[in-house]
């Protein structure tokens, strides 16, 4: 730990003041990089100590998704929920996949679009893509924005019975004419070895209607196509019901091109097996 002792210094003359303002607790990521000595974060400079994995913290156990499904079924009449797909004994690879046709109102959807506009849109182009159509615009909902959508996130957390600490920050997406994304999967094998664990659930909410194109497609589900509809939420499991560390290979998805003049807006929530927010604050995600 000799190198840690060398690194554990205060890099700003304002560190003592920031500590008195409780910035170590309020802004741990910034303070770890600038004032580890003042915050007594020296041990956190070692990634193996900072990002220790506690497997027993996992919420999901074999068959747990099925239990959640039973609870979600109680909400069927409230938000017009339907199960598009579900595993069977003969085909356990079939994922749990549900649609809430009226998850958000028009005004709630419009308010979320405004939050995306407020956060600012950045161009995203799929790496390695050989076609210009694989592009879109994204906006990340940071901590401040997070507070503005807390009511919606509380609603999601209640439905899927997962704590808010397991949610990544919301990702807003905007698709203009001809824009789309390539196939992606929200399960990342590297996450298995991180404190937050893998992304077990994805929630994909459409915030606008699109007259032509703009569907989301699932190639490995016999090209299941879901048309965009304002306020509609899709929920699916990225893992197998009998093993939350095992990727369900069928859940790759892509945003298909917008064909007409309408702009498609969506918001995406990724939910992890364990607490994601604390590891994020400690640079362990």
CATH of the domain at 94: 2.60.120.620
**DSSP per-residue codes, 189-211:** GGGGGSTT--EEEEEEEE-S--S
Tell me what pLDDT residue 56 has. Answer: 44
Check whether 139 has a pLDDT greater than 60.
yes
Find the helix packing angle between 64-72 and 150-160, rounded to 10°: 120
User: Who wins on pLDDT, 210 or 279?
Assistant: 210
Sheet holding 233-237, edge to edge: 81-85, 97-100, 233-237, 199-206, 264-272, 171-175, 135-140, 122-125
Across the range 132-145, mean pLDDT stands at 80
Tell me what pLDDT residue 104 has. Answer: 92
Percent of the chain with pLDDT over 90: 41
Over the stretch 240-264, which tens digit does the pLDDT of each residue have? Answer: 877 888 899 999 999 999 998 899 9
Tell me what pLDDT residue 162 has. Answer: 87
Identify whether residues 79 and 217 lie together within a single domain.
yes
Cα 45 from Cα 36, distance rounded (Å): 8
Asked whether the beta carbons of 149 and 115 are under 8 A apart, the reply is yes
Kindly report the pTM of this predicted structure. 0.82
> What would the two tokens of residue 34 be?
């600038």
How many domains does the structure of the chain reveal? 2
Identify whether residues 164 and 73 lie together within a single domain.
yes
Identify whether residues 116 and 197 lie together within a single domain.
yes
Cα 64 from Cα 62, distance rounded (Å): 5
9-13, 106-110, 123-127, 270-274: least confident range: 123-127
Average pLDDT, the chain: 84
Across the range 180-196, mean pLDDT stands at 89
pLDDT level of residue 57 (50, 70, 90 thresholds):
very low
Strand partners, 26: none
Asked whether the beta carbons of 89 and 145 are under 8 A apart, the reply is no
Identify whether residues 143 and 209 lie together within a single domain.
yes
> What would the two tokens of residue 76 be?
């069927």
Phi/psi at 39 (5° precision): -85, 0
Identify whether residues 202 and 156 lie together within a single domain.
yes
Tell me what pLDDT residue 202 has. Answer: 96
> What would the two tokens of residue 64 be?
């747990």
Identify whether residues 120 and 162 lie together within a single domain.
yes
Please enumerate, as own/partner, the contacts of 25-32 that have beta carbons within 8 Å and a separation of 24 or more: 28/281, 28/282, 29/280, 29/281, 29/282, 29/283, 32/282, 32/283
Q: Which domain holds residue 18?
A: 2-50
Identify whether residues 45 and 95 lie together within a single domain.
no
User: Who wins on pLDDT, 112 or 81?
Assistant: 112
What is the rounded radius of gyration, in angstroms, for the C-alpha atoms of the chain? Answer: 21
Please name the residue ranges forming H helices in the chain: 2-7, 15-20, 23-26, 28-34, 47-50, 64-72, 76-79, 106-119, 143-148, 150-160, 277-281
Identify whether residues 44 and 176 lie together within a single domain.
no
Check whether 265 has a pLDDT greater than 50.
yes
> What would the two tokens of residue 170 be?
């919301």
Tell me what pLDDT residue 251 has. Answer: 94
Residue 138 host element (H or E): strand 135-140
Identify whether residues 121 and 10 lie together within a single domain.
no
Over the stretch 66-76, which tens digit does the pLDDT of each residue have? Answer: 766 766 666 55
Asked whether the beta carbons of 237 and 65 are under 8 A apart, the reply is yes
């Amino acid at each position: 730990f000799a190198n840690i002792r060398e690194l554990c210094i205060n890099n700003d003359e304002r560190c003592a003041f920031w500590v008195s303002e409780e910035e170590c607790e309020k802004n741990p990521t910034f303070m770890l990089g600038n004032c580890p000595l003042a915050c007594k974060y020296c041990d956190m400079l070692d990634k193996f100590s900072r990002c220790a994995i506690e497997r027993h913290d996992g919420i999901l156990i074999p068959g747990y998704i099925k239990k959640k499904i039973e609870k979600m079924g109680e909400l069927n009449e409230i938000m017009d929920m339907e199960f598009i797909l579900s595993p069977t004994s003969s085909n356990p690879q079939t994922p749990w996949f549900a649609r809430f046709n009226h998850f958000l109102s028009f005004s709630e959807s419009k308010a979320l679009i405004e939050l995306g506009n407020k956060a600012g849109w950045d161009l995203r182009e799929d790496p390695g893509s050989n076609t210009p159509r694989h592009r879109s615009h994204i906006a990340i909902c940071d901590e401040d924005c997070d507070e503005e959508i807390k009511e919606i996130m509380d609603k999601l957390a209640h439905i899927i019975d997962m704590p808010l600490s397991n949610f990544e920050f919301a990702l807003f997406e905007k698709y203009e004419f001809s824009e789309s994304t390539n196939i992606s999967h929200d399960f990342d094998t590297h996450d298995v070895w991180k404190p937050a664990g893998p992304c077990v659930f994805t929630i994909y909410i459409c915030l606008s209607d699109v007259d032509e194109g703009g569907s989301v497609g699932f190639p490995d589900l016999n090209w299941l196509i879901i048309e965009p509809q304002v306020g509609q939420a899709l929920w699916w499991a990225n893992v197998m019901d009998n093993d939350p560390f095992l990727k369900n290979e069928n859940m790759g998805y892509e945003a298909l091109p917008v064909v007409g003049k309408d702009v498609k807006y969506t918001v995406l929530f990724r939910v992890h097996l364990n607490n994601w927010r604390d590891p994020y604050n400690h640079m362990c995600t």
